[in-house]
């Protein structure tokens, strides 16, 4: 079978597989492992998923991608840097008996060439990239109708708290360098992110705070 994403396997990166292993244990017990993930899959509404293809970037264990299939999507594709995360996602797809409608591949969402999908989702992914422009441009090119993301807030009191949390997390990552291999989290200017998405031809339909520490936004392509 040809590779639908035209990608070459990427090397494993730091701790993503460890995190995916922990999430996988929860995913085998319940459909969606995190509250903000449930918010993201439900925010577009079933009407925006029904009969559509979904691309989940930074898919981890795959619970978000697979949840879209349960809500009417015809096909879900997931991409993640960790090969262990992808193995877990494929196993979960088999357990839920949707492996024929899902594809999971190792790759860097900022570099891989993607075919167009109706819906593109970035759940807690922007904060994993030091530079978000390439990731946004690459993923927006693949979005046909809907583009949605969750990320740490960047303004007001919530933004200040997010930056403090990021500094503390990055300090821990630096102390445990052997495990995290230089990984850092980043709080990006969401106003700049919004401008870039609008420039690509999308308009926001849903925006707001979720679970106190996450900003959720759903965009639809302007007609």
Q: What is the pLDDT of residues 46-105, one digit of tens each?
A: 678 999 999 999 999 999 999 999 999 999 999 999 888 999 999 999 999 999 999 999
| Over residues 175-192, mean pLDDT | 89
Q: Which of 62, 139, 137 is nearest to 94 (CA)?
A: 62
pLDDT at 138: 97
Tokens encoding 127: 């904060």
| Over residues 107-120, mean pLDDT | 96
Scanning the chain, the segments in alpha helix (DSSP H) are: 16-27, 35-42, 46-49, 63-70, 83-95, 133-141, 156-175, 177-180, 190-199
Considering the entire predicted model, what is its pTM? Answer: 0.88
């Amino acid at each position: 079978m040809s590779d639908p994403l035209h990608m070459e396997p990427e090397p494993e990166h730091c701790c993503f597989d460890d995190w995916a292993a922990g999430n996988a244990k929860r995913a085998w017990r319940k459909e969606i492992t995190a509250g903000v993930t449930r918010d993201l899959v439900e925010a577009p509404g079933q009407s925006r998923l029904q009969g559509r293809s979904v691309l989940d970037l930074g898919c981890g264990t795959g619970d978000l991608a697979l949840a879209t299939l349960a809500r009417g999507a015809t096909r879900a594709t997931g991409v993640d840097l960790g090969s262990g995360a992808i193995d877990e996602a494929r196993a979960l797809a088999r357990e839920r008996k949707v492996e024929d409608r899902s594809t999971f591949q190792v790759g860097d969402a900022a570099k891989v060439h993607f075919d167009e999908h109706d819906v593109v989702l970035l759940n807690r992914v922007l904060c994993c990239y030091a530079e978000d422009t390439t990731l946004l441009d690459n993923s927006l090119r693949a979005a046909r109708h809907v583009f949605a993301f969750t990320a740490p807030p960047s303004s007001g009191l919530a933004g200040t708290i997010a930056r403090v949390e990021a500094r503390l997390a990055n300090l821990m990552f630096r102390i445990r360098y052997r495990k995290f291999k230089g990984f850092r989290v980043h709080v990006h200017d969401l106003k700049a992110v919004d401008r870039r998405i609008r420039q690509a031809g999308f308009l926001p339909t849903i925006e707001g705070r979720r679970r106190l520490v996450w900003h959720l936004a759903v965009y639809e392509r302007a007609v």
